[in-house]
Chain A
């Protein structure tokens, strides 16, 4: 399967714990995006990488959230001191970028439940 993959698919944690999610984009896609989606809403942009550089961060991304893409391939999203309001689907997407096009291809998401 050469699509975008995300791990884990589901995560249940207690309030105050830290969680980390991983995203593996489509090979050779330069751009990688993280989104958060709650029921009845469209995906909300969190952050965006061009290769290993994090070029844009939403104001939604509080200081408890951090994302990395150290080698320009896979990315991780960490949430520290989780709160119940962090419960959502966390989606990752990748796109070729630049001349390759802006169409984004999404992974299956990680569903986070904070108890």
Chain B
């Protein structure tokens, strides 16, 4: 089993739709979780940290399910500008390597 798994997509959704991505992780000792956004041929940019209690930032909601070992990202009212690849990141904590998922590609269609 991969350390971090994501559905690579692509997810093609119409403008205004709600879309959700999941990311599963295998290390139960993982402590920090993040979602990054990456546009084509650009560097990843931090979108949100994922807290145990869940967190929301405008149209974006991130949640953590430790029991089932996955994190999720929900995007409401999708905009054309949301088209990008969404990478989940899992950090075991301490001095251990950070693991990125393969990324989920989102294409918002007019």
A50 to B100, Cβ gap below 8 A? Answer: no
Rounded to whole angstroms, the CA-CA distance of A50 and B42 in the bound complex is 25
Determine if B101 and A45 form an interchain contact, defined as CB atoms under 8 angstroms apart: no
Say whether A58 faces chain B, with CB atoms less than 8 Å apart: yes
Q: Is the CB of A109 within 8 A of B43?
A: yes
Q: In the bound complex, do residue A102 and residue B101 qualify as a contact, i.e. CB atoms below 8 Å apart?
A: no
Q: Which of B31-49 contact A (CB under 8 A)?
A: 32, 34, 42-46, 49
Q: How many residues of A contact B (CB 8 A)?
A: 22
Q: Are B100 and A42 in contact (CB under 8 A)?
A: yes
The answer, yes or no, to whether B61 is at the interface (CB within 8 Å) is no
- Interface: A21 (CB within 8 A): no
Query: CA–CA, A35 to B42, complex, Å?
Result: 14
B98 with A42: CB separation less than 8 A:
no
- With contacts A103-B46, A104-B46, A109-B43 taken as known, whether A42 is within 8 angstroms of B101 at the C-beta atoms is yes
Which of A42, A44, A58, A102 has most chain B Cβ within 10 Å? A42
Q: Which residues of B contact A41 (CB under 8 A)?
A: 102-103
Chain A residues near B96 (CB, 8 Å)? 56
By a CB distance below 8 angstroms, the chain A residues around B99 are 45
Q: Knowing A42-B87, A55-B95, A56-B96 are in contact, say whether A107-B102 is a contact too (CB < 8 A).
A: no
Question: For chain A residues 13-60, which have a beta carbon within 8 Å of chain B?
Answer: 33, 35, 40-45, 48, 50, 55-56, 58
In the complex, A91 has a CB within 8 A of chain B: yes
The residues of B that contact A72 with a CB separation of less than 8 Å are: none
Chain B residues within 8 Å of A108, by CB: 42-43
| Chain A to chain B contacts (Cβ below 8 Å), 27 pairs | A33-B98, A35-B100, A40-B102, A41-B102, A42-B87, A42-B101, A42-B103, A43-B44, A43-B100, A45-B97, A45-B98, A45-B100, A48-B95, A48-B97, A48-B98, A55-B95, A56-B95, A56-B96, A56-B97, A58-B97, A102-B34, A102-B91, A103-B46, A104-B34, A106-B43, A106-B45, A108-B43
B: residues with CB less than 8 A from A are 6, 8, 32, 34, 42-46, 49, 87, 89, 91, 95-103
